[in-house]
Structure 1
């Protein structure tokens, strides 16, 4: 059997077509569990074996480092380590950073630019708003950061936005955007959104750069295409040369893989339009549908199909499996959220005791992070091991961020955000008043904060003690900076911990938490050492990609190399590892569950107002995304699937009666075995009660009494623009009214501190002013 035939062996018909396709753009619509990673990796191998494509001509883009690592491992198994090392298999951000390290000088950035994460960006925006003397209640820095991120995802720069700004809010945002970008540039830094936006600008402004990468990457593949935002979409089009009118280099061969039914990240800027309109964007494109599922039983797939088919405008797709019908879905109606958690944990305990599963094979999904607390309480009480995905991650811990800030300043002395983070860490007598004096001096002299530190003697009204403390701080930085050239990253980490006194202060502390912080810092040193041990191989990979040889004096890892690697670690890549005793139960939100699979899944909180979320009930587009989220949750299960809801759930300290989730009503009753239908202690109004069949007697619609402590006899008639007063939230203005009668729901804006709230008008403690 030839190597080409071996690559196609075991693939079903549509998979073979996707692997062997050549020529124009290709869209692979890959249903959940349909083997898309296998198709992608076999397509890459087939390109090389059958069509003679060189590894360095291939770019495969994923959304997480975990997915990229899995793809690289599979390609290595198919083609060998050398071939896998010679192609770019990485995330959008990693690919852009590689391009920018080489080309960013054209736009005035240093090649060793700092990458600001979300916390750094938020801190810089706070400084910008303070510099503009903005009232944080009227112009919240957090809101400005989110809006600027959205603008960058749409490739809208501050000049363009300033021209469009009309309201005072928009004008202030435009000014903040301009100053924020100026401060970033002065600090030699980019935030995560810049990485893609600046790369797009680079490709559009410098045709020779675009041509270089188009010549190099003749085959571009994108996984999870339904999750791309506008900036990522334009980046791909620029990279393959789709916009060229008279191309110097023929467009690269583009292959994208995705599933419109799993598009659940609109809140991050992802647009489902990119995959729904692929054939319009690329008229000569071919679409191949993968519907055979290799993960789940047919019962689970039939439930998922029944739910998602309610969405309009989606390409028809029907998942099927050869794994048999399997066990019916188990349904449970709990008295309240505590009873629901007790049921879930009790079932897990029973299954693990019987030896049917191990804890690591189980996942508990919920719509929002706040729902995890009650599950944690029961897991702790029962003594079952669990792990929450989405807690404080290693690189987000204060002690790690502090040391990273020192390292960033050593790599880029103008990094204002990092500099101001460590100016008094550990405490060295530089208080808030001294820092403010330095900030004002820098603004008056039109110099950076780092330059102001060096001219501390000129700062007016600065106390002698503070002046001396600043001098000692800059001397410390100079001492550490002198070590950069001759030291490895791990040696620099140890030097920072030692010379700053950071480690000794923690070691001498009586606080038991500081003991774990010391352990975290020891782990961070190990991270640096591990990076050094693998760096040479990584450098050889990079050189092979560029068609160059490794220069011996460049073979040592630098601080910039290490910081880049740390910056590109994805939160979603951190999942609990199995241990010798079978791992731990995973608790996570449905958004975090994307791309994962578990033999046993508990899908909880299935009530209208909880899931689907209250804020989506009056918006068709948002409700369809909630339905896609339900589809994702259902299709994570391999063998056993449980669905549950609570008849009564606490909200704002009061009981909330929510009708059953409409998603439950969309699942055929024959697929669900209701262990418990109507609870004996249900106290919801009759219209909201559920009978033994699992159907609600009152029909579908808005339900819930969030925040109510009393039932009102008469609901006010509200219109958009009306002013109301709420017992808890105060005065607000009506933004949206939806529904009729008892099910009328209003979206009310209570100002910057509270924000918008969706309330049931009949039950909410509000009065019309």
Structure 2
């Protein structure tokens, strides 16, 4: 590249020019210039971290590092944490190259080369490596990542199998006591949480630490450890039988590939001259071990520890904080502190509030500076801080989250009733989707229509409950909870009276399962003295139709994946139209 091209497109005298035709601020420029050394960038919201990522990538391709040798797109590995974010990053890099393409041959070439660039999520990067070295790792190169719905089903079946193993072994009494005291679902949730937490910390086969004192801790620790190990074994077996793996599996396999085969690791160190990692606050120890095994010297990590509240895939904030402290000692840490996204009035309110609130240990809080002068023009926005009265919400038997939702809903009702705003002009932002249910309930209580964008309560919607019950039934006829759910749902749609008759038949004929009662009810031969003889013609027809569809679905269940199976169930039953 000629000096005139460089001056025209990336520089204005001594100032680095952003895609917007304005100079990068000093913090952004400092984080962009030194691309040869390792660097960690702590960037607050709206401070331009993606801009810095894009500029580092583009300038490495157009200028190279201190040696002046430009890099190819395929020599840069860029990692982010969602497929949407990876696509957006690739798109922004492409637009920046296109902006610089007039008069710049390398920028023009880079636009076409970008499709093959290594810009992806961690699991996509790992899958790409594993398929290249599948025979060496001992896996099928056509392996697939199992989708989350199917993994949920596997986890439930794995825990049930693990609990059954313990309930019939030497610890059967204690195991049954544990499940009875805490409940099957609660114990399953805790065991699965510990299992995933330990795997994200780098344990391929999680085990519990041994306790030393308190009232007979060894007995309970051994029991929980055996339950954890059995759960891991059953879960792994189900994934193997499915011919797939989960997110952590591919990270473990790639880490081990690079650790156990130094020549392969060296080949990728030679290939990748730069590694760029976005949203580094969402990293866990297993992922850090993967990046360390890759061993590329010039590794750039950017994140915001204050956004670690989201806990993405068992993220461990200590990983970010420990690495940031280490890099800072070596002078390899930078910060972006100027916010270009929010209005000054909003920032002043945030600064005033957060300055009085305890932030997590080790995180340095500094007031956020506003950097967009355009936001200072026009009418001032009103910032209100609403506080719940603890006494009032305790009297109303509300949780803290419920009280917050009720207060916000009441204020929204006032705004709508006064004509200051319509419901379509109001949006509620929150730090966790799990709170959406509270807000939606309170808004509906006041007659305010609301639409929730996803959320944990999404899984509790009746449509999802019905379809999940059907999937469970296809994998296990003995799952009576799933059978009851499917029979009562629009998939079958029998009456409550019919359900009661099925239950009565089961009780009348000892040893008869609910499935067997269903088979009798959906057949043509019901004995005159049977409780099921009282079924009306409509329920009998619905049971026969459902049994016919179920038989067809069972034939297809082993061949089709979860997504295709759901499509088949919905299409055959007409569930959507119902």
Superposition deviation, residue 342 in structure 1: 4.0
Alignment of 1:570-589 (within 5 A): none
Superposition deviation, residue 63 in structure 1: 1.9
1:261 aligns with 2:306: yes
Distance in 2, Cα, partners of 1:339 & 1:377:
6
1:344 aligns with 2:399: no
SS for the counterpart of 1:387 is coil
SS for the counterpart of 1:392 is helix
1:11-65 CA distance string (max 9 Å, x none): 2111011122222111111012212112211221111122122111222222222
Contact in 2 for aligned 1:25/1:285 (Cα 8 Å): no
Contact in 1 for aligned 2:433/2:454 (Cα 8 Å): no
Contact in 1 for aligned 2:282/2:308 (Cα 8 Å): yes
Equivalent of 1:30 in 37, 40, 43: 43
1:150 aligns with 2:197: yes
Equivalent of 1:199 in 238, 254, 261: 254
Determine the structure 2 residue equivalent to 1:378: 443
Distance 1:31 1:379, change over 3 A: same
Distance 1:221 1:321, change over 3 A: same
Distance 1:354 1:273, change over 3 A: same
Equivalent of 1:138 in 173, 178, 184: 178
Aligned length: 439
Superposition deviation, residue 472 in structure 1: 8.1
1:42 aligns with 2:55: yes
Distance in 1, Cα, partners of 2:247 & 2:157:
13
Contact in 1 for aligned 2:478/2:515 (Cα 8 Å): no
Alignment of 1:171-250 (within 5 A): 171-239=226-294, 241=295
Contact in 1 for aligned 2:123/2:247 (Cα 8 Å): yes
CA root-mean-square deviation: 4.4
Alignment of 1:80-95 (within 5 A): 80=98, 81-95=111-125
1:98 aligns with 2:128: yes
Superposition deviation, residue 331 in structure 1: 3.3
Superposition deviation, residue 477 in structure 1: 7.0
Distance in 2, Cα, partners of 1:515 & 1:77:
40
SS for the counterpart of 2:370 is coil
Q: Which has the higher contact order (CA 8 A, sep 6+)?
A: 1
1:365 aligns with 2:425: no
Contact in 2 for aligned 1:301/1:320 (Cα 8 Å): no
Equivalent of 1:60 in 38, 61, 78: 78
Contact in 2 for aligned 1:152/1:194 (Cα 8 Å): no
SS for the counterpart of 2:52 is helix
Superposition deviation, residue 310 in structure 1: 5.5
Distance in 2, Cα, partners of 1:371 & 1:473:
35
1:677-699 CA distance string (max 9 Å, x none): xxxxxxxxxxxxxxxxxxxxxxx
Equivalent of 1:270 in 294, 315, 337: 315
1:294 aligns with 2:340: yes
Distance in 1, Cα, partners of 2:274 & 2:474:
42
Alignment of 1:381-396 (within 5 A): 381-390=446-455, 391-392=457-458
List runs of 5+ in structure 2 lacking aligned partners. Answer: 1-6, 12-16, 65-69, 99-110, 168-174, 180-186, 212-217, 394-402, 493-512, 517-548
1:619-678 CA distance string (max 9 Å, x none): xxxxxxxxxxxxxxxxxxxxxxxxxxxxxxxxxxxxxxxxxxxxxxxxxxxxxxxxxxxx
Determine the structure 1 residue equivalent to 2:3: none
Distance 1:366 1:211, change over 3 A: closer
Contact in 1 for aligned 2:80/2:122 (Cα 8 Å): yes
Superposition deviation, residue 94 in structure 1: 2.4
Superposition deviation, residue 172 in structure 1: 3.3
Question: TM-score w.r.t. structure 1 length?
Answer: 0.49
Contact in 2 for aligned 1:55/1:84 (Cα 8 Å): yes
Relative to total residues, which structure has the larger helix share, 1 or 2? 2
Determine the structure 1 residue equivalent to 2:367: 318
Distance 1:374 1:25, change over 3 A: closer
Distance 1:397 1:106, change over 3 A: farther
Determine the structure 1 residue equivalent to 2:141: 111
